[in-house]
Structure 1
Amino acid sequence: MKEETKIVLNLLENIVESAAEPRMFLGDKEQLGRVTDQVISIFESEKMTFADTYATLIFIAQTLKYKQEQVNL
């Protein structure tokens, strides 16, 4: 896992732990870190801008949320 990914995960973990009602659970940080590194590599290889990357991640999050809702029906 890249050092910058470890730093971000540690920051997120502190934010989640300090929140009264955390909205996310980090789970296995090593697995999350590996997946994050792979996703970042894809965005870098595609030379996407920050705005394009952010929009893509929002789209992916919404798609996953929709799929989860379909599973729970």
Structure 2
Amino acid sequence: MKRELKSLRVGAGLTQTELAKRLGVTNVTVSRWERGEAIPKPKYIKAMAKLFNIKGQDIFLNLITTKAYKVATK
């Protein structure tokens, strides 16, 4: 089942800034991931999967699908 990164983050009680600090990135980077404007490197996907206790592929597939949809509907 696909899950949205924002839903996972909010469900964990984290702000974009808090998630960014845990991952060692900026809150702007997290925002871009959530909007489908960028795809995190595998090391960040792995870290988020561990943090949210889900499979990394769930995060990755959701981000790819979101980005592909935005490109297709421009």
TM-score range, shorter chain: 0.3 to 0.5
Q: Would you tell me which structure has more helix in proportion to its own residues?
A: 1
Question: Given the two structures, how large is their TM-score scaled by the length of structure 2?
Answer: 0.37
Query: Which has the higher Rg, Structure 1 or Structure 2?
Result: 1
Question: Given the two structures, how large is their TM-score scaled by the length of structure 1?
Answer: 0.37
Structure with the greater relative contact order (CA < 8 A, sep ≥ 6): 1 or 2?
2
